[in-house]
C-alpha cells in the first residue's frame, strides 16, 4: 500500500486553495462539506500557508504550483497539486458520501478514472439513506454501552439491529418509527441477554468442505469450543478475536468429561455469548451432539445444529468408493468400533447381511475382533474392504484389500491419524479420482 488512508477532521480549520478555475472549485466543494474554512487565492504567496491545515493547488502558473508544493512540504502541511503526483504529499480520493459514513477510494494516483468507476459501483450498492442509519446507531451509542456492557452482546445486538427492522425503517426514511424500533430492540436485548449455541459440523478437515452456514457462523462466533478432530485449516476460518476453548478427546483419554462440556456450553450461553461448538465431521454422527443438544434444551438455551460432511462420506469420496450401488449395496450402515466395557457391543448378524456397506468409525484398533465377529455370522473374509486415513483432508491415504487382509495389516499400516473402515462389495467398484486432477485442484 503506497498511501496510508486516514480521515482528517477539518471542521473549523483552514484549507488553502491556490488557483482559479473549474478544477479548484470542484476541490473546494468537499472541503466545504467537511466544515473547513476556505482560504482561496489565484496566485501563491508563502504567507498564505500560515495557520493552514491542508493545501490544494490547480489552475495556477507552474512556478506557483511548484512553490506551493515545496513550501507546504517544508512546513509539514499536507499538499495536493491536482494531476501532479510528483508534487503531492497526499492523494485526493474519490468519495462516496453517506455522512457520517464516508468511503474514500484511491488508486494511488495511478488511474483516477478507475477510482471514479469504483465509486460509481459503490454508490450503486450503498442505500442512499445509509447515513441516516449510522446516525441512528450513533444517537444510541451511549445507551447501548450502558445497557449491554459485554462487548460481544453489544456487537450481536448491533448486528441484528443494523440489519433488522430498525434498519429497514431508517433506510425507508421513517425516522421516528426507526428510533422507536431501535429503542424497543435494545430493551429486549437488555432484558434477555441469553446467547445461542450452534452445534456445527466442521467436516473432515479441509476448510473448503465446510458448509457455507458453518463458515458464516465461524465468522460471527464470540467463542469456539472445539475438538481434537477439528483441523487448523477450519479453525483459521474463525473470527480472529473469537475465544477458543479446546475440549478435545483422545480415545481412552477423555480430556474434558462430556458433562463438563455440556455445563461449559450452558455457562457460555448464559453470559450472552454466541457460541460455536465445532465438532469434527457431523455433530450427530458419533459426535455426542445429541447429548449436548439435550443438555442445552434442558437448560432452556437456544441452539441450532449445523450438519457437516461426515467421515464416511469424505472417505468414500476420497477413495472413489460409491457407498451405495444398485448392483452391490442397497443399505449403508454407519457403525462404531468403539468398545463398551472392553467388548464390541454390535449386532454382528445384522452387520453380516449381504448387499450392504459398512462404514466403521473408530474401528481400527478393534478391526480384527470386528472381522472375527462378522466371519462368525457368515460374512466371507474375502469381502472387499478398505481403510481410509484422513479422508477429506491433507495427506489422505487408503489401504485396499479384503476384510481379512486389512484387519491383519491395518494396525501396522496406520500412521495414527483418524481412519475409517469401509467393508462391502462397493469397495471393488471403486473409481479412484484421477491423481493429477486432484493435485491440480489442491494446488
Cα 321 to Cα 386: distance, rounded to the nearest angstrom: 9
Shortest distance in whole angstroms from residue 208 CB to ligand SAM: 14
- Closest chain position to ligand SAM (CB): 281
Shortest distance in whole angstroms from residue 366 CB to ligand SAM: 11
Cα 310 to Cα 314: distance, rounded to the nearest angstrom: 6
Please say if 175 is a catalytic residue. no
Please say if 345 is a catalytic residue. no
**Coil/strand/helix, residue 173:** coil
DSSP symbols for 326-385: TTTBSEEEEEE---BTTB----HHHHT-SSEEEEEET-STTHHHHHHHHHHTT--TTSEE
Q: Which of 59, 97, 175, 249 is catalytic?
A: 249
For 443, how many CA atoms within 13 A lie in the half-sphere containing its CB?
Answer: 6
Q: Which of 227, 327, 345, 347 is catalytic?
A: 227
Note every long-range contact of 27-32, with CB atoms under 8 Å and residues 24 or more positions apart, other chains counting: 27/56, 27/58, 27/82, 27/92, 30/95, 30/97, 31/56
Q: Describe the strand order of the beta sheet including 196-201 as a list of residue ranges.
A: 243-246, 223-226, 274-279, 196-201, 303-306
Whether residue 89 contacts residue 72, with contact meaning beta carbons closer than 8 Å, is answered with yes
Shortest distance in whole angstroms from residue 357 CB to ligand SAM: 15
Q: Which is nearer to ligand SAM, 169 or 364 (CB)?
A: 364
Reduced to 3 DSSP states, what percent helix, strand and coil does the chain have, rounded to the nearest 5?
40, 20, 35
Q: Which is nearer to ligand SAM, 185 or 278 (CB)?
A: 278
Q: Are strands 249-250 and 52-57 parallel, antiparallel or unpaired?
A: unpaired
Shortest distance in whole angstroms from residue 395 CB to ligand SAM: 10
DSSP symbols for 389-439: ESTTSTT-EEEEEEHHHHHHHHHHH--SS-EEEEESGGGGG--PPPHHHHH
Shortest distance in whole angstroms from residue 252 CB to ligand SAM: 12
Q: Which is nearer to ligand SAM, 391 or 401 (CB)?
A: 391
Shortest distance in whole angstroms from residue 421 CB to ligand SAM: 8
Q: Which is nearer to ligand SAM, 158 or 315 (CB)?
A: 315
Task: Detail the DSSP E strand segments found in 106-168.
Answer: none
Q: Which is nearer to ligand SAM, 27 or 277 (CB)?
A: 277
Q: Which is nearer to ligand SAM, 19 or 424 (CB)?
A: 424
Q: Which is nearer to ligand SAM, 19 or 203 (CB)?
A: 203
Burial of 424 per CB tally in 10 Å (0-12, 13-18, 19+): buried
Shortest distance in whole angstroms from residue 433 CB to ligand SAM: 16
Return residues touching ligand SAM (CB under 6 A): 204-205, 229, 279-282, 285-287, 310-311, 314-315, 361-362, 388, 390-393, 418-420
| Chain centroid to CA 101 | 24
**Coil/strand/helix, residue 21:** coil
| Chain centroid to CA 383 | 43
Q: 380: Cβ–Cβ under 8 A, 6 or more apart, which residues?
A: 403
Peptide bond preceding 264 in cis form (omega within 30 of 0): no
Q: Which is nearer to ligand SAM, 356 or 390 (CB)?
A: 390
Shortest distance in whole angstroms from residue 182 CB to ligand SAM: 41
* Catalytic residue annotation: 227, 249
Amino acid at each position: 500500500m503506497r498511501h496510508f488512508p486516514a480521515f482528517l477532521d477539518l471542521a473549523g480549520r483552514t484549507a488553502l486553495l491556490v488557483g482559479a478555475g473549474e478544477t479548484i472549485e470542484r476541490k473546494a466543494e468537499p472541503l466545504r462539506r467537511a466544515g473547513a474554512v476556505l482560504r482561496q487565492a489565484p496566485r501563491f504567496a508563502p504567507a498564505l500557508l500560515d495557520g493552514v491545515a491542508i493545501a490544494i493547488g490547480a489552475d495556477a502558473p507552474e512556478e506557483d504550483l511548484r512553490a506551493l508544493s515545496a513550501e507546504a512540504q517544508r512546513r509539514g502541511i499536507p499538499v495536493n497539486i491536482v494531476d501532479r503526483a510528483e508534487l503531492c504529499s497526499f492523494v485526493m480520493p474519490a468519495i462516496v458520501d453517506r455522512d457520517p459514513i464516508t468511503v474514500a477510494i484511491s488508486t494511488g494516483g495511478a488511474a483516477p478514472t478507475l477510482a471514479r468507476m469504483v465509486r460509481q459501483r459503490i454508490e450503486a450498492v450503498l442505500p442512499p439513506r445509509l447515513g441516516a442509519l449510522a446516525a441512528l446507531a450513533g444517537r444510541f451509542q451511549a445507551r447501548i454501552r450502558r445497557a449491554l456492557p459485554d462487548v460481544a452482546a453489544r456487537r450481536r445486538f448491533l448486528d441484528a439491529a443494523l440489519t433488522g427492522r430498525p434498519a429497514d425503517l431508517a433506510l425507508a426514511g421513517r425516522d421516528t418509527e426507526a428510533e422507536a424500533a431501535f429503542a424497543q430492540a435494545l430493551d429486549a436485548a437488555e432484558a434477555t441477554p441469553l446467547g445461542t449455541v450452534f452445534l456445527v459440523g466442521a467436516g473432515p478437515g479441509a476448510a473448503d468442505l465446510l458448509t457455507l452456514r458453518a463458515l458464516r457462523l465461524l465468522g460471527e462466533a464470540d467463542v469456539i469450543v472445539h475438538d481434537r478432530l477439528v483441523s487448523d485449516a477450519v479453525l483459521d476460518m474463525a473470527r480472529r478475536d473469537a475465544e477458543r476453548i479446546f475440549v478435545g478427546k483422545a480415545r481412552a483419554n477423555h480430556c474434558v468429561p462430556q458433562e463438563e462440556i455440556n455445563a461449559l456450553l450452558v455457562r457460555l450461553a448464559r453470559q450472552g455469548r454466541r457460541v460455536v461448538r465445532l465438532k469434527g465431521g457431523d455433530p450427530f454422527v458419533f459426535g455426542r451432539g445429541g447429548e449436548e443438544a439435550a443438555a442445552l434444551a434442558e437448560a432452556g438455551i437456544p441452539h441450532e445444529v449445523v450438519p457437516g460432511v461426515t467421515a464416511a462420506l469424505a472417505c468414500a469420496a476420497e477413495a472413489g468408493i460409491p457407498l451405495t450401488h444398485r448392483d452391490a449395496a442397497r443399505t449403508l450402515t454407519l457403525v462404531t468400533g468403539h468398545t463398551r466395557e472392553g467388548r464390541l457391543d454390535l449386532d454382528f448378524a445384522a452387520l453380516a447381511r449381504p448387499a450392504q456397506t459398512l462404514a466403521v468409525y473408530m474401528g481400527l484398533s478393534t478391526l480384527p475382533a470386528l472381522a472375527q465377529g462378522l466371519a462368525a455370522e457368515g460374512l466371507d473374509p474375502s469381502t472387499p474392504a478398505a481403510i481410509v486415513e484422513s479422508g477429506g483432508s491433507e495427506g489422505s491415504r487408503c489401504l485396499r484389500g479384503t476384510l481379512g487382509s486389512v484387519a491383519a495389516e491395518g494396525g501396522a499400516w496406520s500412521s495414527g491419524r483418524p481412519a475409517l473402515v469401509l467393508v462391502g462389495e462397493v469397495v471393488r467398484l471403486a473409481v479412484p479420482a484421477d491423481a493429477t486432477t486432484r493435485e491440480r485442484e489442491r494446488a
